[in-house]
């Protein structure tokens, strides 16, 4: 899991972790189970309403968001200069919309690629895969506040 990695722990340290896409609440339960010391906000509220009430200085958005809304979610977070770590298919970083959104912000961007396959669950809690997933996932992380990154020598980090 993302939070178990030491370099990620420094990114979220002393921050409110906002996991905005509630679904069945399982992701919040999992985060609380593996990292009980984190300050987590994970409630069934509308992301696009709630995000404007949070302070970018003290909040990090961490989620596996709905891919159907990826452009709107990324634009909203970048417009607010809100730090985030979002799980997306790796091919998102090569898409025209992403390149345009990130233009001029590259120094605050890092891509974290897990060394192990990511496990996903359906809404009912049943594991969707029994073998490899059909795409490579990555954590797209943006931190406009803190220039220090997970790895100061690279925008691409294998975790």
CATH code of the region 2-158: 3.40.50
The answer, yes or no, to whether residue 18 has pLDDT greater than 70, is yes
- pLDDT at 77 > cutoff 90: yes
**In the prediction, which pLDDT does 82 show?**
95
pLDDT at 60 over 60: yes
Higher pLDDT residue, 106 or 43?
A: 43
What tens digit of pLDDT does each residue of 26-42 get? 888 888 888 888 899 99
Mean pLDDT computed over every residue of the chain? 82
The answer to whether 119 touches 129, Cβ cutoff 8 Å, is yes
Q: What is the pLDDT of residue 157?
A: 63
Tens-digit pLDDT profile for residues 102-119: 999 988 888 888 877 766
Asked whether 80 and 37 are in contact (CB, 8 A), the reply is: no
Sheet order of strands, 156-158 included: 39-41, 16-18, 59-63, 84-89, 137-142, 109-113, 156-158
This prediction's pTM? 0.84
Instruction: Name the residue ranges covered by the structural domains of the chain.
Output: 2-158
Gap between the Cα atoms of 151 and 2, Å rounded: 15
Phi-psi sector, 154: left (phi>0), alpha (psi -120 to 50), beta: beta
């Amino acid at each position: 899991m993302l939070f178990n990695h030491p370099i990620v722990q420094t990114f979220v340290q002393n921050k409110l972790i906002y996991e905005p896409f509630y679904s069945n609440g399982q992701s919040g339960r999992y985060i609380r189970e593996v990292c009980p010391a984190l300050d987590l906000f994970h409630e069934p509220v509308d992301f696009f309403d709630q995000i404007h009430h949070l302070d970018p200085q003290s909040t990090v958005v961490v989620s596996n968001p709905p891919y159907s809304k990826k452009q709107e979610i990324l634009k909203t977070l970048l417009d607010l200069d809100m730090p985030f770590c979002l799980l997306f298919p790796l091919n998102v970083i090569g898409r025209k919309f992403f390149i345009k959104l990130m233009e001029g912000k590259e120094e605050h961007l890092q891509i974290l690629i897990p060394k192990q396959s990511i496990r996903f669950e359906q809404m009912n809690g049943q594991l969707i895969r029994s073998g490899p997933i059909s795409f490579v996932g990555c954590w797209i992380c943006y931190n406009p506040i803190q220039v220090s990154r997970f790895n100061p020598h690279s925008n691409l980090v294998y975790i």
